[in-house]
Amino acid sequence: MSNTIQRLYEQGQSVWCDNLSRHLIDSGELQELVDLGVTGVTSNPAIFKKAITGGTDYDQAIEKAIGKSCGDVLAVYEALVLPDIADAADILRPVYDKTDGVDGYVSLEVNPKLAFDTGATITEARRLFSKLDRPNVMIKVPATVEGVAAVETLIGEGVNVNVTLIFSVAMYEKVMTAYLNGLQRLVASGKHPSHVASVASFFVSRVDTLVDKLLNNKGGRASELCGKAAVANAKIAYARFCEVFDESGDFAELARKGARVQRPLWASTSTKNPDYPDTLYVDPLVGPHTVNTMPPVTLKAALDHGSFSRTVDSDIEKQRALFSSLAAQEIDLTAVTDQLLREGVDVFIAAIDELLANLSQKRAALRPTGQRT
């Protein structure tokens, strides 16, 4: 019998796992997830911080990396992270081959400290993509103004990109434009557009977390709108995706040349409010050409009792009306999404700073006594 993940796939939605660690790879758990129907993996600095600092799984690798790094803690970090990405990509390579490059990807984020530097982001993304040297790796670039500018260049060079930390429909519009412009540059250079892939990671649950706080502060009937903004935001984004990538529109010529759509990827889909259903950000967002990257707890819930009906393009006018109701409550969604983007970048910067500090401490503790300073 098929499970929920496989039935979601039948509706056109790929399920990726928002988690990666050496244990997940070596224990065979990642392969088990692939066998269940998971077709991709996403990672970020917070995920790697938890994996590396949460136990001793990486201690031998840290000790080995220290001897080669000449004291460069960033080199130690890469010596831990890049093998995880490479090995996960190898496990998922059969999926990539079977789906002709639609699925089977593993995502690695550029250093979040580069989020507001276009040139440095491009350089770093090129380097990581080249170093990993696998067609089923995606480089994650944040949807800052500077990051979106980098996306166009990277797509134009054939680098697979996962555009992350998208919160607003307005920024999503710019992300799609950058992707299309990048494809045009790729075609103009004589390269085949089917050899590059991209997803646009639209963050979901965090929108409700902040909007609910603002609504609850207002009191009265405003609280009736709680828990609804995030799904509405994502559904409206999907409606724009369908319009932009309609093969009878501007995308048509690129599609005829083999270009792929830039699929919306629903990220941050774990339920933060315990009063809400644990599949709140899964069940209403099912539909063609979408990805839902789920952390383990959400993946487990989806397998146990998730729905698999097509829902992402239903009730669009109802979602637009909800936006009007939020505006009537003086909820400024532009301010909300701008704040969430800033906070998202800050969270990832803090995670990598904490991880590098931890690696420095472990480096000192693991280094032979005669080498300590």
Task: Assign 3-class secondary structure to the chain.
Answer: CCCHHHHHHHCCEEEEECCCCHHHHHCCHHHHHHHHCCCEECCCHHHHHHHHHCCCCCHHHHHHHHHHHCCCHHHHHHHHHHHHHHHHHHHHHHHHHHCCCCCCEEEEECCHHHCCCHHHHHHHHHHHHHHHCCCCEEEEEECCHHHHHHHHHHHHCCCCEEEEEECCHHHHHHHHHHHHHHHHHHHHCCCCHHHCCEEEEEECHHHHHHHHHHHHHHCHHHHHHCCCHHHHHHHHHHHHHHHHCCCCCCCHHHHHCCCCCCEEEEECCCCCCCCCCCCCCCHHHCCCCEEEEECHHHHHHHHHHCCCCCCCCCCHHHHHHHHHHHHHCCCCHHHHHHHHHHHHHHHHHHHHHHHHHHHHHHHHHHCCHHHCC
What pLDDT sits at residue 369? 46
Question: For 4-365, which CATH class?
Answer: alpha beta
Q: What are phi and psi of 199, to 5 degrees?
A: -125, 155
Which tokens go with 88? 């996960």
- Catalogue the long-range contacts made by 331-338 (C-beta closer than 8 Å, 24 or more residues apart): 331/211, 331/214, 331/215, 331/229, 333/168, 333/211, 333/229, 333/233, 334/168, 334/170, 336/167, 336/207, 336/210, 336/211, 336/214, 337/167, 337/168, 337/170, 337/171, 337/207, 338/168
pLDDT at residue 370, rounded to an integer: 43
Query: 162 and 42 in contact (C-beta within 8 Å)?
Result: yes
Q: What is the pTM of this model?
A: 0.95
Alpha-carbon span 163 to 161, nearest angstrom: 6
Is the distance from CB of 211 to CB of 151 less than 8 angstroms?
no
Question: Which residue type sits at 266?
Answer: W
pLDDT value of position 373: 40
Active-site position among 98, 113, 140, 191: 140
| Rounded Cα gap, residues 342 and 178, in angstroms | 21
What does the domain layout of the chain look like in residue ranges?
4-365
Question: In terms of residues, how long is the chain?
Answer: 373
Task: Write out residues in the chain with pLDDT < 70, as ranges.
Answer: 1, 69-71, 366-373
Nearest partner of 143 among 123, 116, 119, judged by Cα:
116
What is the rounded distance in angstroms from the CA atom of residue 184 to the CA atom of residue 182? Answer: 5
Q: What's the pLDDT tens digit per position in 212-228?
A: 999 999 988 899 999 99
Q: How far apart are CA 45 and CA 6, in angstroms?
A: 29
pLDDT for residue 149: 98
Answer yes or no: are the C-beta atoms of 190 and 156 closer than 8 Å: no
In the residue annotation, 140 being an active-site residue is answered as: yes
Residue type, 206: R
